[in-house]
Amino acid sequence: MQDLSPWEDAQKMIAKAGREGVNLVWDRLKDQTPHCTFCEQGLTCSKCVMGPCRINPKGPKKMLGVCGADGDLTVARNFGRFVAAGAAAHSDHGRDLLETLAAIGEGQTTDYGIRDEAKLERICKELGIETQGLTVREQAKALANLFFEDYGCRSHNVAFSSRAPQKRKDVWKRFGCTPRGIDRDCVEMLHRTHMGVDCDPVSICLHASRVALADGWGGSMIATEISDIIFGTPKPVKSLVNLGVLKEDQVNILVHGHSPIVSEMILAAAREPEILAKAKEVGAQGINIAGLCCTGNELLMRQGVPMAGNHLMTELAIVTGAVEMVIVDYQCIMPSLVNVANCYHTKFVSTSDKAKFPGGIHMEFNFKNARE
Ligand code: SF4
């Protein structure tokens, strides 16, 4: 048991799940082991219908896929798509924050606002937006419009690449890696790695660098800065972590995923007297919001909300039997959570049209209906 987790609370819940017949991530890992050696080495390909192919670089047979792709090309193509998927996930999260910033700027939402006006103005100025005479909303709109360009395909480089030292930018230029547009560079990776397009593994790996830079200096940086502008810039806070944050006499609601857009509103709603009164009506002393995974970190660093656990603790939090509801947005949410929740009284609620979970409850959530 100690091999699975160093934490006593996790060890106890793994044992409890075993007694109660609940299937966990470690059980499934055991079932899946040993992994396929070809897959582990990135030597499988299903990018066209002449395959799927398994490449054996040592030969003598199967050294090439049906199209003639060798091991190096196959590994590079798989790696490139791996990078593009990660960059797309980070950056699409950033897009949701960007759309929320634009909605604030255009007066389409009253549920969200600008908590760090100084940072909004500072970043506007940094990126060349003249702020004199602009209201906060007008600044938000102007900044959102500028960042939307970074997602497109017409800019020569993403706006925040201006933050990189000149020496670094020279290296990017030399290797053709300057990030141009978040969507553009991700889409180009899917194109390059399709059958019969870029057949040079080095060229694909260099483009993988460009995709990663488009994420790091584009999507992820935009997501971070806009999160601070809308929800406030984090400061060091003290809080509690792990399963002991769940409270016996309260309604325990866990928020899980990556985006502060949903969790900040859940937290605000849980603090409303009307909602608290409803919890008391059913005999609870209050509503305890706790975080899981990266959504948990978002709430912890800005609001000091306790953190029930990381990615591998998500199933175990439900196994406690103390959780009334898990509310998720997207990313790192194991599909198994629905089954685990169904073993207890826990309701599993998804909120994004990008991330639906059969067997759970889906309630669409966006900046227009956030407080409904
Ligand atoms: S792209 Fe080539 S290696 Fe990949 S599945 Fe098609 S034929 Fe096989």
pLDDT digits (tens, 9 = 90+) for 168-217: 999 999 999 999 999 999 999 999 999 999 999 999 999 999 999 999 99
Residue 154 is predicted with a pLDDT of 74
Residue 296 is encoded by which pair of tokens? 């948990």
Ligand 1 site, residue 50, Cβ cutoff 6 A: yes
How many angstroms does the Cα of residue 28 sit away from the middle of ligand 1?
Answer: 29
**Pocket lining: 199 vs ligand 1, CB cutoff 6 Å:** no
For a mutational test of ligand 1's pocket, the pick from 38, 46, 204, i.e. the residue with the most ligand atoms closer than 8 A to its C-beta, is 46
**Would you give the DSSP letter of residue 262?**
H
For ligand 1, whether the C-beta of 46 sits within 6 Å is: yes
Q: What ipTM does this complex have? A: 0.99
How confident is the model at residue 338, as a pLDDT?
Answer: 98
Hey, what are 267's tokens? 């937290």
Atom of ligand 1 nearest to the CA of 52: 5
Instruction: Give the amino acid at 307.
Output: M
Q: Answer yes or no: is the C-beta of 52 below 6 A from any ligand 1 atom.
A: yes
| C-alpha–C-alpha distance, residues 55 and 42, integer Å | 9
More confident residue, 372 or 52: 52
pLDDT at 284 over 90: yes
Distance 331 CA to ligand 1 centre (A): 29
List, edge to edge, every strand of the sheet that includes 251-257: 307-309, 287-292, 251-257, 325-328, 347-350, 361-362
CA gap 41, 35 in Å, rounded: 10
User: What is the number of alpha carbons within 13 Å of residue 198 lying toward its C-beta?
Assistant: 22
DSSP, collapsed to helix, strand or coil, labels residue 44 as strand
Which band of pLDDT confidence, cut at 50, 70 and 90, is reported for residue 246?
A: very high
CA of 180 to the centre of ligand 1 (A): 29
Q: What is the dihedral of CA 122, 123, 128, 132, to 10 degrees?
A: -40
- CB distance 171 to ligand 1 below 6 Å: no
How far is Cα 231 from Cα 63, in angstroms, rounded to an integer?
Answer: 53
Q: Which fold has domain 71-231?
A: Substrate Binding Domain Of Dnak; Chain:A; Domain 2 (1.20.1270)
Quickly tell me which residue has 């299937």 as its tokens.
Answer: 23
Q: Is 195 helix (H, G, I), strand (E, B) or coil?
A: coil
Torsion from C-alpha of 85, 90, 91, 93, nearest 10 degrees: 120
Map residue 265 onto helix, strand or coil.
helix
1 pLDDT more than 90: no
Q: How confident is the model at residue 259 (pLDDT cuts 50, 70, 90)?
A: confident
Residue 85: its H or E element? helix 71-105
Best CA proximity match to 313, nearest among 326, 303, 330: 326
Query: E strands, the chain, where?
Result: 44-45, 53-54, 251-257, 287-292, 307-309, 325-328, 347-350, 361-362
Ligand 1: atom nearest CA of 68 is 2
Tens digit of each residue's pLDDT (9 = 90 or more) over 295-323: 888 899 999 999 999 999 999 999 999 99
For 281, the token pair is 């009506």
User: Distances in Å between the alpha carbon of 359 and those of 295, 329, 346?
Assistant: 22, 16, 12
Q: Which residue has the tokens 């593994």?
A: 201
Residue 58 Cα to chain centre, angstroms = 38
Distance 77 CA to ligand 1 centre (A): 11
Ligand 1: nearest atom to the Cα of 65:
3
Domain boundaries defined on the chain: 71-231, 243-362
Question: Residues 310-357: pLDDT tens digits?
Answer: 999 999 999 999 999 999 999 999 999 999 999 999 999 999 999 999
Can you say how many angstroms the Cα of residue 65 is from the centroid of all Cα atoms in its chain? 34
Ligand 1 touching residue 211 (CB < 6 A): no
CB 264 within 8 A of CB 299: yes
195 lines ligand 1 (CB under 6 A): yes
- Using DSSP's 3-state secondary structure scheme, residue 308 falls into strand
Residue with CA nearest ligand 1 atom 4: 45
Sort 269 into a burial class: Cβ within 10 Å, 0-12 / 13-18 / 19+.
middle
Residues near 303 by beta carbon (within 8 Å), at least 6 away in sequence: 237, 264, 267
CATH number for the segment(s) 243-362: 3.40.50.2030
Is 63 touching ligand 1 by the criterion CB < 6 Å? no
DSSP 172-190: HHHTT-----HHHHHHHHH
Q: How far is the CA of 242 from the centre of ligand 1 (A)?
A: 46
Q: What stretches of 21-70 show up as alpha helix (H) in DSSP?
A: 25-32, 37-40
| CB of 22 shorter than 6 A to ligand 1 | no
Q: 181: CA distance to ligand 1 center in Å?
A: 28
- C-alpha 204 chain-centroid distance: 25
Q: Rounded to the nearest whole angstrom, what is the distance from the C-alpha of residue 49 to the centroid of ligand 1?
A: 7
Select from 66, 197, 199 the residue to mutate for testing ligand 1; criterion: most ligand atoms less than 8 Å from CB: 66
How many DSSP H helices and E strands does the chain contain? Answer: 15, 8
Angle at 369 between CA 363 and CA 370, to 5 degrees: 85
